[in-house]
Structure 1
């Protein structure tokens, strides 16, 4: 807060406190010499004997207001609230937040600590750990993958067995810890412009059994082998080391229609999975990984955990 705003707050607080004190003092003066309430009337009389009086507040009520004013002055001396004055206690909302966070982290670490360093398929054998992971997933992952983990356009479905970067426990853990960066470059110029994009699109559709023009698909096969096969393989089955998807199945991250595929070839794709180790730490990442693993291996994990 700069000096100008600080002075504004100070003046406003002083005016309010002094104004309240003045109002109470004026009200207190409206008493007789004996200290009792004077019986002044407003001049309004009904039915001959029903008179409206204008009496001051009772003494006990006024004293409560004086106590409130004294309390407010003490509060402003102890806590910040008087402009830039920090208060004699040194309290700040940031310090309180940090203290509460440290206390909460200690409790969570006690609950999560026994799963530290475990492989996610081992963690998945513990129902409590999977429940922890589900809540962490809802907080940190559902924004992209959905609350049911079925994903959306551009965000993978985690409930099937199709994995861009590999579906082993170590590969999933690496994805969560370090993140992933897709690198599908614009390829229109490399494969022959609009004609090449059309032909390769037709060939890619034919790989997964989608009906496509045979002549265009055949022409696109040679272009695919010369450029696209470097990542997706000659057979189009992809490469988990590069995050290159399998083009021969029926799983499509962005869509399988002609326009969507040709757009991806023409403009490229730059999907990004952020690294979560810096965000939630190694142990919590393993709990999330255990939950993700359980979505496709839940029955297997439960069977192994059963004596």
Structure 2
């Protein structure tokens, strides 16, 4: 597709557009008069020669004058439009109009109109905003627009996308931390360990990890997996599997699992790693919207609505 961004394509599109309008005008000019045919006896044949149902003939009349002028005016309008607005390849038009600028202007107007609504909340702390019923409604609508695609409309998350209602946080659930996550995004990387562990050893580690959260596990394999865990996993998840919020390393000792707690899933995570990306929204959301969403999300796991 990058080939279509060369200057030649701009000239091609401009030529096609102008030739199309010129052809329409020529067609109208060429059909301004009736071209009649003579019959064998020398009389005028004012039909096209098409006959239906025995005697229904199509007359060969010129285009009505009002109809022709309608087409001509449409062509003139098209030429004027192409002069004023972009449409001839890379030519930007005398008005320098772009849909990007138009959208930015509309967004600025909308933001200016709703800023007074947010004004009082910008003076409140996040817990206080979360307890305000109107603020929760605003935050919920913003969440549905910008966050529900990944975290779900109920913020319950799904496989690979954190549940925001359970109080279990990869990076911390403080208001400032939530705001930072929204603004700057997150990139949680679990490196693959296929070079260090084979499938059998990874399975033993998985059994040990399951035992940390009280899930059923084979005690013999747990014993084999513990030293492997300490040799490969402690740096991020800690000796007790409590995790590290500074790194976004999950707590392995609770029963909250981002991808699932089965041995097969844990082994897949160990051998292949994981790469979770929370996109940054600082260029998408205004500070007011970020604050409202932060308060809404904080309130979901702190009982602010109760």
Query: TM-score over 0.5 for the alignment?
Result: yes
Tell whether the 8 Å contact from 1:186 to 1:264 is kept in structure 2 after alignment. yes
1:29 maps to 2:33: yes
Matches for 1:90-239 after TM superposition, within 5 Å? 90-116=96-122, 118-186=124-192, 196-225=201-230, 228-239=233-244
Q: 5+ unaligned residues in a row in structure 2: which ranges?
A: 36-43
Per-residue CA deviation, residues 181-235 of structure 1 (Å, 9 max, x unaligned), is 3354455777x76665444322221222222222232343455456544543443
Partner of 1:8: 12
What is the CA–CA distance in structure 2 between the aligned matches of 1:259 and 1:129, rounded to whole Å? 43
What is the CA–CA distance in structure 2 between the aligned matches of 1:3 and 1:237, rounded to whole Å? 58
What is the CA–CA distance in structure 1 between the aligned matches of 2:88 and 2:23, rounded to whole Å? 17
SS at match of 1:88: coil
Partner of 2:285: 280
SS at match of 1:235: coil
Number of residue-to-residue matches in the alignment: 294
Q: What CA RMSD, in Å, does the superposition of the two structures yield over aligned residues?
A: 3.7
What's the TM-score once normalised by structure 2's chain length?
0.76
Distance 1:54-1:117 versus aligned 2 partners, 3 A rule: same
* 1:269 CA drift (Å): 3.6
What is the CA–CA distance in structure 1 between the aligned matches of 2:279 and 2:123, rounded to whole Å? 21
Partner of 1:301: 304
* 1:51 CA drift (Å): 7.2
Distance 1:65-1:174 versus aligned 2 partners, 3 A rule: closer
* 1:291 CA drift (Å): 2.1
Tell whether the 8 Å contact from 1:180 to 1:273 is kept in structure 2 after alignment. yes
Per-residue CA deviation, residues 79-118 of structure 1 (Å, 9 max, x unaligned), is 3334544433332333323322322332343443443364
Per-residue CA deviation, residues 112-168 of structure 1 (Å, 9 max, x unaligned), is 344336433222123333233223323332332233322222221112122222223
Partner of 2:87: 81
SS at match of 1:28: coil
* 1:292 CA drift (Å): 1.6
Partner of 2:41: none
Tell whether the 8 Å contact from 1:232 to 1:246 is kept in structure 2 after alignment. yes
SS at match of 2:144: helix
Partner of 1:34: none
Per mean C-alpha deviation after superposition, the further-off stretch among 267-276 and 252-261 is 267-276
Distance 1:29-1:247 versus aligned 2 partners, 3 A rule: closer
What is the CA–CA distance in structure 2 between the aligned matches of 1:15 and 1:152, rounded to whole Å? 54
Tell whether the 8 Å contact from 2:199 to 2:267 is kept in structure 1 after alignment. no
Distance 1:235-1:94 versus aligned 2 partners, 3 A rule: closer
* 1:284 CA drift (Å): 1.9
Partner of 2:24: 20
What is the CA–CA distance in structure 2 between the aligned matches of 1:42 and 1:194, rounded to whole Å? 82
Tell whether the 8 Å contact from 1:201 to 1:262 is kept in structure 2 after alignment. yes
What is the CA–CA distance in structure 2 between the aligned matches of 1:102 and 1:281, rounded to whole Å? 11
* 1:252 CA drift (Å): 1.3
Q: 5+ unaligned residues in a row in structure 1: which ranges?
A: 32-37
Per mean C-alpha deviation after superposition, the further-off stretch among 196-205 and 206-215 is 196-205
Per-residue CA deviation, residues 274-300 of structure 1 (Å, 9 max, x unaligned), is 333344243322222222223233xx4
